[in-house]
Amino acid sequence: MCGIIGYVGNRNAPDVIIQGLRYLEYRGYDSSGIAVWSGEKFDLVKTKGRIADLEKELLKTPVSGHLAIGHTRWATHGCPADRNAHPFVSYNSRFAVVHNGIIENYLEIKDELQKKGVVFTSETDSEVIAHLLESLDHGDVKRAVLDATARLKGAYAIGIICADDPDVLYAVRKDNPLVVGVTESDGFICSDINSIQKFLTEVVVLENGQVAKVERGRVELFDFDGNDVEAKFIALGSLEESDRKDFECYMDKEIKEIPTALANAIATYRNGAFNRIDKKYLRRIRRINVVACGTALHAGLYGERMIKKYLKKIDVTSEAASEFRYGDPKVDDRTLTITVSQSGETADTLVCQNMVRNLGGKTLTICNVETSSMVRSSDYALFTSAGPEVAVASTKAYNCQCLVFLLFVLDLARLRGEIDEFAYKNLQADIDALPEIAARTLKVAPQVARFANKNYTRKSVFYIGRGLDYCTAMEGSLKLKEISYIHCEAYPAGELKHGTLALIEEGVLVIALVTQKELVTKSASGLEEVKSRGANVLAITPFYDRPAIAAVSDYRIKLPDVNEDLYPIISVIPTQLLAYYIARAKGCDIDKPRNLAKSVTVE
C-alpha cells in the first residue's frame, strides 16, 4: 500500500521524484523519503509525515543528481517514524531500495544478516532487502537482484539503485503493481501510471514474476530465472488530471462529479462492453460468485440482489475477498466470478481472481482502471469510467460500480430470456435519467450540512435498512467511520430486536434508509422500536410525507422518485454527503483519514 517511484535521466531527479510522490500519496502518507545518487554517494532525505513535510526537509537539505528513488509509506512493519521511512541504504552504502508489500520471511533473513554483523536501524521488513542485496553482490548487480529475489517470500514491488551501476534503475514485481517507461533521455519506474504519465506516451506494465532493468531510452525485462522477456509497451491516453482548486477537498469534488461519472459509465458500457463477453459462455453459467473488499463489496452485495431478482436460474453468493480465498469456494467451468475494485490492485481480490482462474472458472472484473492488474488478468472486464478518484473514501466509483453491475445483470437476463423486452427497455430509460436525478439529489447538500453541524459530536451512530436499503446502510456506515472516526454500525432493520436494541439509548442517532415501497410499513416498525427507546431518527426516503415515517422521524431528507431498483445508486449520495460534512465539522483530514490508504496492495 506504499507508493514507489524511480528516475534516471537528464532532468534533476529529485524534482521528478517529488512530482511523482504527490500523485502517489494516496497510497500511504505515514512517511516519505528520497535517495539521490550525487556522483559519489547516496544522499538520503526522509521524514515522518506527508510529502509536504519531505519537501520542507529538502529545502533544508537540498539534493540533486540524475538518479533517484522515492517512497511514500503506509506503515505495516514498524510505526510511522523517520527511522522506518524509506528508502533504505545497505550497510556498505552501495544499494538503495524502496519497497511496497510485505516480506514474509524477513525475520529469518534479518537474523542471518545480523549474525554476519549487519546492523539494522529500522523496525521494517523492507530494510532486509537492501542489506541482502549488498551481501549477495559479487560484481554483477543484475545477478544480485535475481539472487535476492529468489530469497524473498511474500508480495512486493521493489525499486533498486546501485552505486556500481549509476545509470540504471532496477524494478522487481511479485504480486504488487509496477510500471516502467522510457524516453530517449529518461527512464522511470513507479507504482502508478499517473505518477509518470505526463512524461510518457507508452509504458510497460510488469507482469508478475518479472525484473526490469531501466536505462535512458531502454528497458530490458527478465523473469526470476534471468531469462529474457519481451517488453510489451502499451500506449497511454491523455492524462486525466484531478485538480481540486475549486473544491474544499477531493472528496467534495468527487461527490459533486457523481452525475458526470454516471453519464460516462453509461456511455462506456453501451459502447459494446457487453458484446465483448463470450455469449455462448454467458448462456451456460449456473453460478456467480461476487468477490470484493470494503466499498466495492457493498456494490457487490447490490449486484447480488439484482442477480437474484433478474437471473432466477443462477445461484449467486457474495463474499469478502479475504474470506472467499479460504472458504473452499465452489468453482467450475460454469462458474463466473465477478470481482469489483476501484483501483484494480486490491490484493485480496486479485489473489481470489487468480485462484478462481486456476480452478477452471472464468472471471469478470468491474474496475475503474483499464491498465490495472485485475483487468489484465481477468477473462472479461467492464469499466466504470468514474474518472480519477483521489480521496481515500470512495464515492463516485461506488455509484458507478453499482450502475455497471446492474447494466450487466440486465443484459445477461435479456440474453438468457429472463427479462421481457418491455421491462428491459423501461429500466434502460430509467437508467438514462440517473445522471439528472443524481444532480437533483445533490441539492440536499445544504440541508445535510446543517444536520451535520448539529450532530458531529455524536459518539455512536447506527444505519438501518431493509432489502436493497441494507446494502446502502452498510456503505453509509463505512463512509462515516472512515473519515469522521465515529463508531457506526449498519444493521438490517428487522434484526434490531435480535440483539442490537440493547445498544439503543437516549440520544443515539439512527439513520434509516427507506426506499423500497413494499417495505415502508415494516421499516416504520423498526423506527418505532428505536424511537421508543430514546433514539434520534434521521430518515432518508422518497416517502417524505408518509404518516408512518413522519411520525417516527426527527429529521427527514427527501429523495427524488426513481425506479426502486436504482435507489441504491441515488440514496447513497446523502450518506456520502453526511460523512463528508460531519468530518468537516470535526476538523478531520477528509481526503487522507488516519490509518488508511486508497489502494490496498497487501493482504
- Which of 37, 34, 148, 143 shows the shortest CA–CA distance to 93? 37
- Name the residue with cell 445508486: 569
Is position 115 annotated as part of the catalytic site? no
Task: Report the Cα 148 to chain-centroid distance in Å.
Answer: 30
- Which of 253, 325, 334, 258 shows the shortest CA–CA distance to 293? 325
- Phi, psi (5° rounding) for residue 82? -55, -45
What are 465's strand-pairing partners?
492, 513
CA distances from 493 to 325, 380, 526, 601 (A): 30, 36, 6, 34
Q: Identify the active-site residue in 2, 249, 352, 402.
A: 2
Length of the chain: 603
CA dihedral 436, 441, 442, 445 (to 10 degrees): 160
Contact indicator for 5, 20 with CB cutoff of 8 Å: yes
The CA-based angle 46-52-56, given to 5 degrees, is 65
Contact indicator for 69, 34 with CB cutoff of 8 Å: yes
Give 281's Cβ-side CA count (13 Å radius): 18
Strands 179-182 and 202-205: antiparallel
* Cα Dmax for the chain: 81
Give 323's Cβ-side CA count (13 Å radius): 11
Element holding 506 (H helix, E strand): none
The CA-based angle 121-127-128, given to 5 degrees, is 115
- Name the residue with cell 460500480: 401
Element holding 541 (H helix, E strand): strand 536-541
Cell numbers linked to 476: 453509509
- Please tell me the distance from the alpha carbon of residue 266 to that of residue 276, in angstroms, as a whole number: 16
Cell numbers linked to 526: 423498526
Q: Helix, strand, or coil here: 214?
A: strand
- Phi, psi (5° rounding) for residue 240? -90, 100
Cell numbers linked to 547: 404518516
Neighbours of 329 (CB within 10 A): 20
Is position 402 annotated as part of the catalytic site? no
- Please tell me the distance from the alpha carbon of residue 241 to that of residue 184, in angstroms, as a whole number: 25
- Phi, psi (5° rounding) for residue 501? -55, -20
Q: Identify the active-site residue in 174, 253, 592, 598.
A: 598
Cell numbers linked to 110: 534479518
Cell numbers linked to 548: 408512518
- Which of 145, 391, 372, 406 shows the shortest CA–CA distance to 255? 391
Q: What amino acid is encoded at 407 in this protein?
A: L
Give the residue numbers marked as catalytic: 2, 598
